[in-house]
Amino acid sequence: MTTSKTKKSVQLSVGGIILISVIALCVSMFAIERIDSGQTGIIVNLAGSERGVDDAKVETGWVFYNRFTKQLFEYPAFAQIVDYEPFDIQDKKGTIFKTDPTIEYYIERENAKVVFLRYRKTTFELEQSVILTEVKNAYKDIAGLYETDSLINNRPAFEKEVETLLKERLSQRGFTFSNIQSSVKPNDVLQAAIDAKNTAVQNALKVENEKKAAIAEAEKVVAAAKGKADANRILQESITPELIQLKAVEKWDGKLPLSTSGNTLPFLELKK
């Protein structure tokens, strides 16, 4: 009797273990996940007749899938900002410039499946491979159309051309490109030459301004001296014997000077 009960207990225990194992296997096989509104979910078939033909399906909201036969990828449906490391580009003459781009892009829901089927990469992998390659190529292709001086003096126009080309090329690959910000700078050697040239131009302007100031000051002194000379000339030309006689009369107070040497009286001779 005891042996029979023991066998039943063992059977129940084994059955319970098997049941638990089956439940655990089912739980591990299937997954329930929620795809956020800002994401686009791609369910991919890893096996079966659809694999390689139409093995990706766009999903949103709650999704239920078999972990062993399907895989879930998520692409953000909102703008992604990527700040790339600086890299070198060359103009038409081979002069090296350095650019430091930051781009903004996103993957529209209707393009998510196309992007996945074409590349089968995560967002980060796409940013560091496909998108980065297009960014570098756009900069290099446009830079190759510019002369050195033209690129230095027209950097905003250059970056606008890069943006237009990059928008066109990324759209062909399923990406929506919205914005790019970058700084294009000459290499250290060229920048030093530009700085030296600017310094020389500034020094020349300074010397020229000082020269003009000195000439203006000299002209001022000459003008002052000429004015004074003209005034003296005019004054000298206006002095006549009659004027001197008149001035003497105007200054005489009507008193005769006293003299101890005689009775001779001074007089003023007035010409008629």
pLDDT of residue 136: 95
- For residue 53, name the pLDDT band (cuts at 50, 70, 90): very low
- pTM comes to 0.57
Res. 250 pLDDT band, cuts 50 70 90? low
End-to-end CA distance of the chain: 180
**Pairing between strand 96-99 and 184-186?**
antiparallel
More confidently predicted of 233 and 124: 124
Contact 105, 177 (CB under 8 A): yes
pLDDT at res. 49 = 47
Region 102-131: what's the mean pLDDT?
89
Q: What is the pLDDT of residues 147-179, one digit of tens each?
A: 988 888 898 899 999 999 999 999 999 999 888
- Percent of the chain whose pLDDT exceeds 70: 56
At residue 63, the pLDDT reads 76
116 or 5, greater pLDDT: 116
Per-residue pLDDT, 145:
94
Lowest-pLDDT range, 92-96, 174-178, 183-187?
A: 183-187
CATH top class, domain 80-186: alpha beta
Average predicted confidence (pLDDT) for the chain: 74
pLDDT class of 272 with cuts at 50, 70, 90: very low
For 10-53, the three-class secondary structure string (H helix, E strand, C coil) is HHHHHHHHHHHHHHHHHHHHEEEEEECCCEEEEEEECCCCCCCC
Give me the pLDDT at residue 28, please.
61
10/232 Cα distance (integer angstroms): 141
103: pLDDT confidence band, cut at 50, 70 and 90? very high
